[in-house]
Amino acid sequence: MIPRYRTIVYATDLSDNAAHAFRHAVSLARSHDGVIHVLHVMPEVESAVMNYVSTVIGPDQLADMELGHKDEVRRLIQQRLKQFAEDELKDHPEDLGRVTEIHVRHGRAVGTILTLARELDADLIVMGTHGKGRLHYTFLGSVAEKVLHRAKCPVLAVPLLT
């Protein structure tokens, strides 16, 4: 059976290359009458640091700051989506409606991407790569490479534009 990409997880680090990958997510969603879930993963802060900050400013204020930061990132993504629509979706403005939700989560990028894909029973994960060279992959690996190896659904890794 020919695959249908109805539920697409688009993972973004908010870099310029991530915007290039979004073009692919929109194209596939349009072709398959699918929806896009945008995901941005904010790195976890060491628990010792969180405990210290919580002690200094108080746990309630820390929780408020974390929620405020998530909202700020969500607003930034919404602004970028609006700009993308103005710049590139003039002929298909309805495509912006394919973005059904913006998820902003704390965690490790690979695990968080895979968890959301499982939760949504995603048909495809779309993400950009950074292309940092062989040495980088030898010693550090990459989020895209790890997602490619561990995902239970297809992954489209869009290379960096040069």
Residue 150 has pLDDT above 50, yes or no: yes
Residue 113 has pLDDT above 60, yes or no: yes
Report in angstroms the alpha-carbon separations of 96 from 2, 14, 82, 89, 108: 25, 17, 8, 8, 28
Question: CA angle 86-131-14, nearest 5°?
Answer: 35
**For all residues of the chain together, what is the average pLDDT?**
84
> 0.75 cut: is pTM over it?
yes
As given in the structure block, the two tokens for residue 148 are 């490619």
55 in helix, strand or coil? helix
Query: pLDDT for 53-74, tens place per residue?
Result: 567 677 676 566 676 778 888 8
As given in the structure block, the two tokens for residue 8 are 């697409």
